[in-house]
Structure formats: C-alpha cells, structure tokens
C-alpha cells in the first residue's frame, strides 16, 4: 500500500511511495504530528537520479526492520532537493557545518520545531566501517530526546544560531574591481591539471562556468593561457568516459583524474552549462571539434530530454536494472557481437575497450569486466597510426557508433526524471539560443523559444513564477535561481531572435526577481521569496558550485539588461548585488567565476551594437550575421527597425530612437562610453570593429557613485 508520497508529483517522492516507511512530504502536517506526539523528525533529502539514494532506499527504506524503527520513533519526511532547493540548502549547510562535507542522500534529525541536531549523508542499515547505521542512530537519538529534550533543543539552537551568523556574514560588502578577475584566473591556473585537464584532484566536475570565465579572460586580455586551460579541459572531457560517445551528452562527473570513470546520471543543468561552454570555445578558436561536441550535446537534449509540450526534463538516472552504469557500459564480446570481428576490433582499439574491462566498481575499486567508452588519444592520432585520414576514420566510427547505439536502445533504459524546473530550463534556453545563433542552427533557437513559451505559460500562469511542472500541474513557489536564470535566458533568446517580446519578458521577470527576493538591507538576493516557507534561517548564496548561484547570474543578467535598455535602474541593481558579496568573493575568487563573469560587464569596457534596418532584409541580415560571426561577449546587440515596426524596441530601449538606416541601407551603430561611432553599412567593417576588444575605459563610471541602497524595483515605478 502506498504511503502519503503516492499523492505527490515528484518522481523522487514517487520512487518512495511504496516503502514501508510512513513518509510525509515536507510540510506543516508532519511537524504538527511530531509536536503532538513529541517525536523527532527523520528528514531524508535526495533526488530521483541519485545513485547512493537508490542504495540507501534498497538497504534501509525498503527494509521492514528499519521502517518499524523509523515509524515508531520518528516522523519520517522525504524531500526532493531539486523541487525544494531552499530546504536542501538550509540543511546541507547544517551537514557541512557539523561534518565538514555534504552530499546526497542527506540525512538530518530535527526537533519538532525544525531545528537540526544531527546531520549525515548515506547511512547503512546497521553501523559498519565507522559509519553509524540508521537503526542505531535513530534509537540513540530518540532515547536522548525522550530523556532530555531541552538539551537537544539547546544544541540544535546553537547550530542554527551559528548558521544565521554565517548567513549574515555572506553579506560582506566591498567595492569590486578587476583585481578579482586576475586573482581568479591565477587560482585556477594553480589548480589546473596540464595532463588531463580540469582543476584539482579527483573527483572532477565539469563546472562549465569556470571554463566560460577563462575563455572570456582570453578575449579581454589577449593572453592565450586561460583559453588553453578551458579548451584543453573541454577536449579532454569530450574524449573521456564522462562523455556518452554513443548517445551524446555528458554524465555528472568523473571519479578519476582522467575523466574516464563517471557517475552516470545525466543532469539538464550540466548539459546546458557544457553546451554554452563548447559554443563559447568554438566562438573564440573556431575549431570544428568544439562545434561538433556542442551539436552532440544539443542533439542529446532535444532527443531525450525535450518534453513534447516544449520544456525540458530534468535528468536521467545513473542506474538501470539495479546497477549503476549498466545501460552505458560494454564488454568486448558485446561490441564484437554487434560490429563483427574486423570493425569491432578497430572500435575497441580506438575507444579503449579491454578484454578484462576498464570500469572499476566505485566502492570495491575492482574491475567488473565492463568498459566505459573513451578516446585515450585524439582521433587524428589514431588516424595517423592506422594510415587513414581523420575524416575517413570518423566516418567509419560514426557508423559503428550508430550500430552500437541502436543495440543499446534495446537495453532497459534508466529512469528519466520528467519534471520541468523553471530555472534549469532557463539554463538550457540560454545555451540553445546562444548555440543556435553562433552555429547557424535555427532549430536550436526555435527549441529555446518553445521552452521559453512553455515556462512563461505553464510556470508563470498568473504573472508569478513557479518552480516545477509535472503531469499537468505547476506548483512550488520559485526560488531566486528560477527567476534569475529565466531573465538571462530571455536576454539570450532576444539576442538570437531580436524579437522585442523576449526583451519585454526579461524586463518583466527581472521586476519580479527584485520584488520577491531583494535584500533591502544589504543588497543582493535572498534565495527564497519574501513570502516563502519559514525556514530556520534564510539563505543568500553567491558561491558558484555545480550550477552558478542566483546572485551571480543576476549580476550578469541585470547588467546586460541595463546595457540593452539604457535604464540605469537595472545597472544599479547589478552594482548593488556585486557590492553585497565582494568581500566574500575576495576570500577565494576562483569559487565565484559566474559572479566574476557578471562583474566583468560592470568593471570592464562593453559595447552596444544597434542595427537599424528592416528585419528579414538581406542588408540587415548581413549585419546581424557579422555580429554573430565574431566572439565578442562584451557586446550587447539591439535590432531597431525604422518606422512603426520599431515601436516596441524603442519603448524598451529609447536610446535607439535616433538610429536609422543610412541612405535606405541597414546600418550598424557601435557605441561605447555613451558615445556612438559613425554608422557602418559594410558587414566586413562591422566584424572588423568587433574583432578587437574595446580599449580600457570606465564605461560604467556613471553608476559607480550611486548608493546600492534600495532603488526602485522596476523602471518608472
């Protein structure tokens, strides 16, 4: 019989609906019962595609003995961290404060007043190897609570008080400056792995915002070293086992330095970040292999994660048939059976397939006989060894991969987490819009537009953004990341389409972002809305982890919105957000690269490009193509049609009103330091002007002297 989770929509909660544990979803009902029955709360947080969450479920939550202990001594509560990042963030901070580390599944013991007094991650059923078991933990904690609840409350209160003080300390204001950009570059260089790419030891995470930051440092400074680190890492990942060479896309992270052995779940946010990074790298160096990998990622997302209604699903699981990676790994015999001995032997050589396998069980570190496909060397090196042309070898291998992919589709596929999250969709809308514009792939831009329409219609039905859509229902109030990521997505979609309705939507969502999340005392954004659930403390993060933080993306998005509209309200908000966290960022700049990417829009020279011309005309299209041909991320472009057709964009960006075609021909106005150069009508001249970064200057000095304070939430309000 299903427990209470059977009424939920979250795929993760539904996975636990048939557990013998009497789970509650997060909410007042569970804590009211805990107060009434004077019980502690057993809080378990995870997500649908988490391998160790599955392990803990099989070992403990499906076990009658464990269920009896939990049901008798606690009120058990399950939370999907992807649906409720606010709850996860608060209690993950507890875990990190108490243990020095964190992860999922996250296990927390709470008082009935939601105060935490124990934190851990994966726990076995019974204690082993120095790790406390679920049964022993709950029995001891329940006994302690029964004997001296006041002592437990005092201990939990101290934990929360420390977290509140730390949260207040996240508001460490200062005056941000370009030195932070240099310091972050140096810190990443010190951690760079020159042999395998990436930063630091294993496990290695993709962290795409680090790579985008480095690519833009090369653009700004002319120093090739940052781009070499980024491009080297992108190529190493593309060759590695973290890349799904048959189905496309990337797995979550690698457990080894060589990017060979992955955790196999596939997350939408990783695909979005990496798609953007490969596209930016291609824009800078114009290497075809980087464009090919970008298309590989986009193809996977559009094939396997796209919702027919327009949005994008969240993830695919690591496990199938009860084993992590079973869907993705191969024995040598399996490959030979599909490809035959000749083609199969060549494929195994190139993709590192060994008779005894290369895949190690993560826990036991033993070979399983299975292989993760990877390219130990670049393809051109294999071609030289085999006496073939690189293009010829790639053509043959592409056919082999297609045959193996077809065979793989007959296996039991991992679970797809089909919920649609507003913020994660924002990341993918941005990435597809940018990639479509740079690679000349209108289908990608169209997919980004459909996803934006889906989010605005289904997840913002009454002008108030929600976080999750699934099975026909939109619910859960948005987090700050949902609104911030969506603002940037709409700006990127405007850049790819020059549809003024996208810019108008960005202005509207930016207003909601400020109205619902702004910290009126210190500047910047709270992660939860002013009218959200009451938590034991209200987080306000700027650290850029697996995903960029809401505050980091807001710095970039609001600064760009100020450039595109010419409205200083948005630029001032960007400055206020940047100032609010500058002191914290200075402590370790490399941990805040998405923040620094946004900061660069404020402290370094930028450009506005206004193309005055009729949409759809060849001369206008040629100037638009020139803008997209050049890697110039510091430039914000606006299309201003003459006459009545340009009314919508003139309402949004009044500064374009005097910019018109020249002699009946489309013209581009290149502006910097509030000054516009003579209009250009030749696409080549525009591309040449954009090819060189703008000279040093204090482009945004007019906003530096403003107080961060609490300026108006929306222009004109």
Over residues 565-579, the pLDDT tens digits come to: 999 999 999 999 999
The pLDDT of residue 706 is 32
- b/e code 648-666 from CB counts within 10 Å (16+ = b): ebbebbebbeebbbbeeeb
Summarised one tens digit per residue, pLDDT across range 636-664 is 999 999 999 999 999 999 999 999 999 99
The pLDDT of residue 363 is 60
Q: Does 284 have pLDDT greater than 70?
A: yes
The pLDDT of residue 710 is 31
Helix (H, G, I), strand (E, B) or coil at 147: helix
Q: Does 714 have pLDDT greater than 60?
A: no
The pLDDT of residue 702 is 34
How many residues does this entry show for the chain?
717
Q: How far apart (Å, rounded) are the C-alpha atoms in residues 24 and 3?
A: 8
Q: How far apart (Å, rounded) are the C-alpha atoms in residues 594 and 545?
A: 10
Q: What is the mean pLDDT of residues 261-283?
A: 97
> Per mean pLDDT, which range of 5-9, 171-175, 408-412, 649-653 is the poorest?
171-175
The pLDDT of residue 597 is 98
Beta strands 635-640 and 607-612, pairing class: parallel
Q: What is the mean pLDDT of residues 455-484?
A: 96
The pLDDT of residue 172 is 79
Summarised one tens digit per residue, pLDDT across range 73-117 is 999 999 999 999 999 999 999 999 888 889 999 999 999 999 999
Model confidence at 364, pLDDT cuts 50, 70, 90, reads low
Average pLDDT, the chain: 93
The pLDDT of residue 672 is 85
Q: What is the mean pLDDT of residues 166-172?
A: 65
In angstroms, how far is the first alpha carbon of the chain from the final one?
Answer: 54
Q: How far apart (Å, rounded) are the C-alpha atoms in residues 707 and 580?
A: 12
The pLDDT of residue 600 is 98
Q: Does 186 have pLDDT greater than 70?
A: yes
The pLDDT of residue 700 is 45
The pLDDT of residue 167 is 66
The pLDDT of residue 168 is 57
CATH topology of domain 179-321+417-603: Glycosyltransferase (1.50.10)
Does the CA dihedral 280-283-285-289 come out positive or negative?
positive
Q: What percent of the chain has pLDDT over 70?
A: 95
Q: Does 315 have pLDDT greater than 60?
A: yes
The pLDDT of residue 662 is 96
The pLDDT of residue 536 is 87
CATH class as words, domain 607-698: alpha beta
Q: Does 171 have pLDDT greater than 70?
A: no
- Residue ranges covered by each domain of the chain: 4-169, 179-321+417-603, 328-410, 607-698
- Whole-angstrom CA distances from 162 to 93, 159, 685 are 11, 5, 59
Q: Does 716 have pLDDT greater than 50?
A: no
Please give the distance of CA 5 from its chain centroid, rounded to a whole number.
28
Residue with tokens 């090739």: 224
Beta strands 416-417 and 420-421, pairing class: unpaired
Instruction: Establish whether domains 179-321+417-603 and 607-698 are of one fold.
Output: no
Q: What is the mean pLDDT of residues 394-398?
A: 96
Model confidence at 712, pLDDT cuts 50, 70, 90, reads very low
The pLDDT of residue 676 is 83
Q: How many CB atoms lie within 10 A of CB 452?
A: 26
Q: Does 261 have pLDDT greater than 70?
A: yes
Q: What is the mean pLDDT of residues 421-445?
A: 98
Model confidence at 698, pLDDT cuts 50, 70, 90, reads very low
- Which among 88, 149, 91 has a CA at the least distance from the CA of 118? 91
The pLDDT of residue 532 is 87
> Per mean pLDDT, which range of 39-48, 364-373, 451-460 is the poorest?
364-373
Q: Does 703 have pLDDT greater than 60?
A: no
Contacts of 36 (CB under 8 A, 6+ apart): none
- Whole-angstrom CA distances from 442 to 150, 272, 278, 350 are 63, 17, 18, 34
Q: Say whether pTM exceeds 0.85.
A: yes
Q: Does 526 have pLDDT greater than 80?
A: yes
Helix (H, G, I), strand (E, B) or coil at 422: helix
- Which among 13, 105, 54 has a CA at the least distance from the CA of 326? 54
Top pLDDT among 162 and 506 is at 506
- Which among 208, 210, 192 has a CA at the least distance from the CA of 200? 192
Top pLDDT among 703 and 632 is at 632
The pLDDT of residue 697 is 62
So what's the architecture of 4-169 in CATH? 3-Layer(aba) Sandwich (3.40)
């Amino acid at each position: 019989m299903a427990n209470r989770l059977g009424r939920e929509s979250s795929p993760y909660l539904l996975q636990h609906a048939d557990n013998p544990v009497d789970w509650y979803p997060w909410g007042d009902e569970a804590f009211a019962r805990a107060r009434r029955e004077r019980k502690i709360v057993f809080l378990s947080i995870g997500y649908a595609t988490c391998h160790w969450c599955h392990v803990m479920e099989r070992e403990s939550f499906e076990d009658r003995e464990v269920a009896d202990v939990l049901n008798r001594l606690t009120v058990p509560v399950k939370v999907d961290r992807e649906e409720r990042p606010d709850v996860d963030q608060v209690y993950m901070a507890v875990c990190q404060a108490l243990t020095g580390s964190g992860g999922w599944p996250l296990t927390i013991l709470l008082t009935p007043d939601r105060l935490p007094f124990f934190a851990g991650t994966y726990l076995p059923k019974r204690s082993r190897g120095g790790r406390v078991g679920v049964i022993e933990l709950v029995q001891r904690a329940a006994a302690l609570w029964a004997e001296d609840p006041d002592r437990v409350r005092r201990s939990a209160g101290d934990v929360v008080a420390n977290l509140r003080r730390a949260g207040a300390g996240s508001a460490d204001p200062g005056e941000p400056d370009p030195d932070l950009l240099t310091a972050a570059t140096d810190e990443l260089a010190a951690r760079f792995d020159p042999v395998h790419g990436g930063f630091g030891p294993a496990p290695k995470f993709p962290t795409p915002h680090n790579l985008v930051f480095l690519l833009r440092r090369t653009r700004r400074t002319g120093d090739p070293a940052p781009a070499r680190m980024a491009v080297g890492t992108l190529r190493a990942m593309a060759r590695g086992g973290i890349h799904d060479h048959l189905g496309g896309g990337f797995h979550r992270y690698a457990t080894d330095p060589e990017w060979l052995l992955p955790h196999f779940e596939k997350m939408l946010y990783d695909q979005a970040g990496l798609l953007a990074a490969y596209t930016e790298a291609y824009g800078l160096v114009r290497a075809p292999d980087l464009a090919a990998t970008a298309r590989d990622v986009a193809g996977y997302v559009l094939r396997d994660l796209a919702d027919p209604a327009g949005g994008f699903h969240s993830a695919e699981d690591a496990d199938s048939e009860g084993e992590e990676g079973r869907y993705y790994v191969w024995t040598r015999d399996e490959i030979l059976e599909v490809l035959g001995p000749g083609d199969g032997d060549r494929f195994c050589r190139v993709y590192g397939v060994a008779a005894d396998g290369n895949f190690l069980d993560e826990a036991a570190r033993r070979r399983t006989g299975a292989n993760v496909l990877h390219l130990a060397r670049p393809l051109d090196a294999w071609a030289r060894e085999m006496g073939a042309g690189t293009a010829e070898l790639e053509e043959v291998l592409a056919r082999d991969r297609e045959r193996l992919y077809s065979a793989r589709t007959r296996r039991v596929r991992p679970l797809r987490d089909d919920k649609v999250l507003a913020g994660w969709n924002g990341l993918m809308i941005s990435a597809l819009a940018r990639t479509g514009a740079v690679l000349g792939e209108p289908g990608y831009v169209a997919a980004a537009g459909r996803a934006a329409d889906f989010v605005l219609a289904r997840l913002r039905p009454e002008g108030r953004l929600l976080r999750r859509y699934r099975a026909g229902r939109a619910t859960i109030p948005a987090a700050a990341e949902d609104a911030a990521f969506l603002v940037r997505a709409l700006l990127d979609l405007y850049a790819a389409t020059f549809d003024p309705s996208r810019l108008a939507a960005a202005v509207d969502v930016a207003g909601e972002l400020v109205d619902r999340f702004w910290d009126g005392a210190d500047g910047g954004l709270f992660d939860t809305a002013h009218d959200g659930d009451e938590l034991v403390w209200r987080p306000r993060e700027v650290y850029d982890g697996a995903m960029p933080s809401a505050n980091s993306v807001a710095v970039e998005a609001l600064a760009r919105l100020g450039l595109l509209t010419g409205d200083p309200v948005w630029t001032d908000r960007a400055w206020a957000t940047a100032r609010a966290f500058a002191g914290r960022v200075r402590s370790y700049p490399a941990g805040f690269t998405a923040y620094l990417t946004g900061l660069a829009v404020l402290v370094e020279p930028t450009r506005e490009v206004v193309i005055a011309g009729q949409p759809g005309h060849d001369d206008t299209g040629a100037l638009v193509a020139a803008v997209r041909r050049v890697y110039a991320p510091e430039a914000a472009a606006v299309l201003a049609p003459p006459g009545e057709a340009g009314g919508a964009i003139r309402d949004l960006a009044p500064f374009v009103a005097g910019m018109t075609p020249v002699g009946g021909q489309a013209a581009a106005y290149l502006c910097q330091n509030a000054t516009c150069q003579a209009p250009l009508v030749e696409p080549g001249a525009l591309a040449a002007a954009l090819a060189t970064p703008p000279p040093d200057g204090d482009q945004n000095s007019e906003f530096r002297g403003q107080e961060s304070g609490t300026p108006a939430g929306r222009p004109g309000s």
